[in-house]
Structure 1
Amino acid sequence: MGWARQKQQHHNAAFFWRYLLMASALCLVFFTPLCRAGAENHRNAYATMMYMGTPRDYEFYVAIRVLLKSLAALHVDADLVVIASVDVPARWVRALEKEDGAKVVRVENMDNPYKKQANFDKRFKLTLNKLYAWSLVDYDRVVMLDADNLFLRKTDELFQCGQFCAVFINPCIFHTGLFVLQPSMTVFKDMVHELEIGRENADGADQGFISSYFPELLGQPLFHPPANGTRLEGTYRLPLGYQMDASYYYLKLRWSIPCGPNSVITFPGAPWLKPWYWWSWPVLPLGIQWHEVRRQTLGYSSEMAVVLIQCAIYIGIIGMTRLARPSLSKLCYRRSDKSTYLVQNCLKLVAFWCILAAYIAPFFTIPHTVHPLLGWSLYLLGSFALCSIAVNAFLLPILPVLVPWFGIIGVLLVMAFPWYRDGVVRALCVFAYSFCCAPFLSAAVSKIMVALQLTFEREAFLPRLGESNPPSGFNKLY
């Protein structure tokens, strides 16, 4: 009897565990999709836009990906949406969806009726695509962003704001690089209608149109998120801390924004000094902060192949010029005194152009969005390699040719010095350094001129000045 009872207990235990496993499997089947849906679909969204047709399309694509990944790293409680024109490459769309977790909304480019205005800037031709944000009616609130925003902390409290909220980084004109809106097809259709009838637009871009559409925002109250999490109604001005203009930082080299939390940095300055360009730092100190975010999120694997190839080419050039030591001085032919003087001056001009090209050409070959430390290192290697060609071709002393090279290293160190009291002192130090370097640059030019003249005479490049007839051995071109 004891044996039978024990067998029955083992049978009951086995049945219990089988039942528990089946119940767990059913829970996974039925409830996991619901949990996933709840995790992926939110009532609010952070949105940005992407369109094609500018020389900087790839750079803005990289910037958008960094923006999305930085928001995901902050664990924002919202969807990430990209309003992409239909001509955005499919591989970019796949990367945004699969790798960055964004929801891509494809749209037709909105026609810009202001493109014939006298003050119209062609790079803003398609910025009116930003109005599609009002068509995202699946969301209660949308925070619309430009790609040049750098988030320092999560800002989900912005979704508590009203129907339209924006920051006045200019005392009288709010900025459309970040604003909160309530999607509405009624408002969207009315905006399209206003475009068709030619509503006033100061700059012909999204900034001028949206400012004209919400002219009363300056007189509205400042947004303060309710502590109980409720959503406000109406329009509000956002505190400046939600969109800190980088130019405010450069004056004091620190943030002093008492209005609102220091949450987001924006870079609305010159298009060629956006923070993702490697040369923007240390010219603009905040560029390194954007690249630090990229290093932690997207990384630099897409540019490394080109960087390694260029590095190998530059090292090869240095090696070949040291081994071959080519010299243009072997070109000897007969000329009169007048033509000799002319040719010598032309060759001096060619030599200076070669040196100048050695310092300019690397800027156009280095991938624009690499890390500044890597970009400047590759630039210095490239300029040194190309300078070595001029040095060996014209038999020049290397130190005068490299005076600008050392000067560039010095000014980078002066600009990157981290202990300046404020931006004014930093600017004065850069100016003082440049002033002190000017005599060295002038002396280097003089030494190069003397070296070229001596090379022409010593190497019998051309007949010596003052000789009416060259030696008989130079009657033949060889």
Structure 2
Amino acid sequence: MMLGTEMLRGIRPITTAGSRNAFVTLVTNGDYAMGAVALARSLLLTGSPADIVVLFTGGVEASALQPLEALGCRLVEVDHLPLSHAFNLRHARGNLHANAPFTKGRKPAFHSPLDNFCKLRLWQLIDYSTCIFIDADAIVLKNIDKLFDYPEFSAAPNVYESLEDFHRLNSGVFVAKPSLATFGAMLKQLDEPDVFWRRTDQTFLETFFPDWHGLPVFMNMLQYVWFNLPELWDWRQIAVLHYQYEKPWEVGHPKAAQLRPLIDLWHAHYTGEGVPAPGSLPSPRDADAA
């Protein structure tokens, strides 16, 4: 019992669970709180009865959380993981991006790699049977409740440039079964001496779950597919649209002109006004022709 109590440290739910299943996201600053609002609105449009849980860190102002509370989200405050000073130093923004630079896109200035590991606190949400984690820079375009019946650990491949991407998972969407035993094992493996997780939680989860179950790419469609692999893009099948690298709330980011239809779709979900049916949206080739 003491072990269970100890393993529940670092999370502080504000309300109780309302369902056995939950969609979970992570908010670490005001920018991602905006993202979570669009995500929550998109989930509500699907009619799912599952809870929408927002894990949030001390970097988020109370005012940024109010819209999420108004949408009925369950707010859970979380601390950073209890990791060693050496681990935190290796994975600080400057050191991590120097040793494992992003060469395919640009991470915005508000991105903090150490925050990513807070995602693992999902496994402490033991009042849920199954959780579907979705990054706050994503929106859901159709009901995905069937994923609650999928095994742990299910995730889509990290596809946005070529077929080689199918070898790696993307941790922006995954299916997990909360468990304090799993969480404890994660902490132990996460902070082994001299370990370096090149893509933070994503590389770790791929290592911790080497036999991960592959979801269809449409369950986590990365925005760069729009211009890199347009033949893969099919609005009728896309369930989750994930804005990796540049974010749709950034004004005039480097890929804004190329991604304009996707950015406009995100803003419609964020405001809740004029949300189009995905089937009515242009294909990448149609958008280029226009």
- The answer (yes or no) to whether the contact 2:53–2:75 under 8 Å persists in 1 is yes
Q: In structure 2, do the counterparts of structure 1 residues 215 and 201 end up closer, same or farther at CA, with 3 Å as the change threshold?
A: farther
Residue 208 to residue 115, structure 1, CA distance change in 2 (3 Å): farther
Q: Which amino acid aligns with 1:80?
A: I
1:62, distance to aligned residue in structure 2 (A): 0.8
1:105 partner SS? strand
**Which of 221, 225, 232 lines up with 1:244 in the alignment?**
221
Query: What per-residue deviation string (whole Å, max 9, x for no partner) do you get for residues 107-151 of structure 1?
Result: 211245253269513720221000000111111110011111121
2:188 matches 1:193: yes
The residue that corresponds to 2:201 in the other structure is 206
The code of the aligned residue for 2:50 comes to A
> Identity of paired residues, percent?
25
Alpha-carbon distance in structure 1 between the residues aligned to 2:50 and 2:138: 17
Counterpart in the other structure of 2:107: none
Deviation digits for residues 371-390 of structure 1 (CA, Å, limit 9, x no counterpart): xxxxxxxxxxxxxxxxxxxx
Give SS of 1:180's match. Answer: strand
Q: Is 1:264 paired with 2:253?
A: no
SS in structure 1 opposite 2:166?
A: coil
Q: Provide the rounded CA distance (Å) in 1 between the counterparts of 2:271 and 2:231.
A: 23
Report the AA paired with residue 290 of structure 1: W
Q: Is the 8 A contact 1:114 1:120 kept in 2?
A: no
Once residues 76 and 184 of structure 1 are traced to their aligned partners in structure 2, the CA distance between those partners, rounded to angstroms, is 23
Paired residues of 1:110 and 1:128 also in contact (CA < 8 A): yes
> Counterparts in 2 of 1:27-426, with a 5 A limit?
41-51=18-28, 57-97=29-69, 99-111=70-82, 113-116=87-90, 120-121=96-97, 123-169=112-158, 170-198=165-193, 200-203=195-198, 205-217=200-212, 236-251=213-228, 256=233, 261-269=237-245, 273-280=246-253, 281-285=256-260, 286-296=262-272, 421=285
2:96 alignment partner, SS class: coil
Are residues 72 and 130 of structure 1, via their aligned partners in 2, closer, same or farther at CA, if it must alter by over 3 Å? same
Paired residue secondary structure (2:34):
helix
Q: Is the 8 A contact 2:51 2:74 kept in 1?
A: yes
Distance in 2 of aligned mates of 1:291 and 1:87: 24
Give the CA deviation at 1:198.
3.9
The 2-side partners of 1:78 and 1:291 are apart by 24
Residue deviations 1:198-253, cap 9 Å, x none?
A: 48443161112111111222xxxxxxxxxxxxxxxxxx211111111212222465
Return the alpha-carbon distance in structure 2 between the equivalents of residues 191 and 256 of structure 1. 35
Change (3 A) 1:199 1:159: farther
**Deviation by residue 1:343-387 (Cα, 9 ceiling, x = unmatched):** xxxxxxxxxxxxxxxxxxxxxxxxxxxxxxxxxxxxxxxxxxxxx
Cα distance in 2, alignment partners of residues 65 and 201 from structure 1 = 32
Distance apart, 1:177 and its partner CA: 0.5
Report the TM-score, using the length of structure 2 for normalisation.
Answer: 0.73
Contact 2:41 2:272 in 1 (8 A): no
Per-residue CA deviation, residues 328-353 of structure 1 (Å, 9 max, x unaligned), is xxxxxxxxxxxxxxxxxxxxxxxxxx
In structure 2, what is the Cα distance between the partners aligned to 1:48 and 1:125?
16
Check conservation: 2:227, 2:284, Cα contact below 8 A: no
Structure number with higher strand proportion: 2
Q: Which amino acid aligns with 1:152?
A: L
The higher relative CO (CA closer than 8 Å, separation ≥ 6) is in 2
Q: Does the 8 A contact of 1:146 with 1:178 survive in 2?
A: yes
Matched AA of 1:89? E
RMSD over aligned Cα atoms: 3.0
Q: CA deviation at 1:102?
A: 0.8
CA offset digits 1:60-79 (Å, max 9, x no partner): 11111111122112221200
**AA in 1 matched with 2:128:** Y
CA distances 1:250-280 after superposition (whole Å, capped 9, x unpaired):
246575459x9421111212xxx31122425
